[in-house]
Structures are given as structure tokens and as C-alpha cells.
Amino acid sequence: IGISIKAEICGVMGLAFLGGSYMAETFRSGIEAIDVIQKESAYSLGFNKLQTIIYIIMPQAIRVSLHGIIANIMFLLKETSVFSAISIMDLMFTAKDLIGIYYNTIEALLMLVVFYLIILLPVSIVTVVPDAIVSEPVANPTFPTIFNIPPSEFKVFPVAVETPSSVNVPPV
């Protein structure tokens, strides 16, 4: 065709399309997870379509899809290693160069893992904060856990069992 585009721009465009498609799918599934009754209730309260989307649907959809959004961000950070396929210098490209020059495969790959940990660990720690903000605490857990009920409050109550009159049960 005769179009010449720099490798960096091609890489950014590729990751933008890839990340955009995954994010769109994550938001779509988050919106579809909201019950239709939520929309109907908003209309019955007098909300118009825009107000329903802004105040009712989107806050719930974002809460539902937050885990997927965080996973997509982490995926895109790791997916930058495909830049080496189009000759853009990145960590993977540098590791391949070091392996080719010095033949120290284990050391180069170990440094690659360490650098990816240095990059991804703070990002994963930071992404825990929004997740903790939007997740609601369980009001009535089905079973006591060490986080919400101290062990001293565990109580065992006797259970009365009724037996049919046709069964002869000796007294205990």
C-alpha cells in the first residue's frame, strides 16, 4: 500500500486494539450482569434513560466488572513482551539479546523475571485498593469466620429432635 508507520506506533496501536476489545467485553458482561428489575425500578421511580444508566446501571456494572478490568490491566502490562516481535526494545528483547551475546540463559531469564516482578508487583498491590473499596462486607455470613466472629462467641445450642411415635426410642 505504501504506508510507512514506525514500529512504536504499530505496537501501541496493536495493544490499544487488543486492550480495548478485552475492556469492552469486560464492561459488556458487567452491564449484562445487572438484573432487568434494576432498570425497571429506576423507571418506576421517575428516572429517565440517562439517569438510569448513570446512577443505577453503571455503578453496579463497574463494581461487577472491576476484577476483569484489573486483570486486563495486568495482562496488557505482560503483553508488552510481544513488542519484541516487531523489533521494539523491551525486556524480552533485551533478554534475548543477552542470551545471544553471552549464552547465559538462566541468568538472563532470571533477570527478566525479576524485572517483571519489579514492574507488576506494585501495580497488583495498587489495584487491590479499588477492589477493597468497592467490595462490600458480608453482613450475615453463613458460617462464622475468624475475621468477623471471635472464637469465644461460638456457642453450641442443643437441638430437640422429634421422633415418630411408631419408633420406640429408649430414654437416654
Q: What is the pLDDT of residue 144?
A: 46
Q: What is the pLDDT of residue 87?
A: 60
Maximum Cα interatomic distance, the chain, rounded to a whole number of Å: 97
Q: What is the pLDDT of residue 154?
A: 46
**Three-state secondary structure along 1-34?**
CCCCCCHHHHHHHHHHHHHHHHHHHHHHHHHHCC
Question: Which residues of the chain are modeled with pLDDT < 50?
Answer: 138-141, 143-147, 149, 151, 154, 156, 159, 161
Segment holding 69, helix H or strand E: helix 58-79
| 153-162: pLDDT as tens digits | 545 455 454 5
Q: How many angstroms separate the CA atoms of 124 and 121, rounded?
A: 5
Q: What is the pLDDT of residue 162?
A: 53
Q: What is the pLDDT of residue 146?
A: 46
Q: What is the pLDDT of residue 46?
A: 94
Q: What is the pLDDT of residue 37?
A: 93
Q: What is the pLDDT of residue 12?
A: 85
Q: How many angstroms separate the CA atoms of 29 and 66, rounded?
A: 11
pTM of the model: 0.61
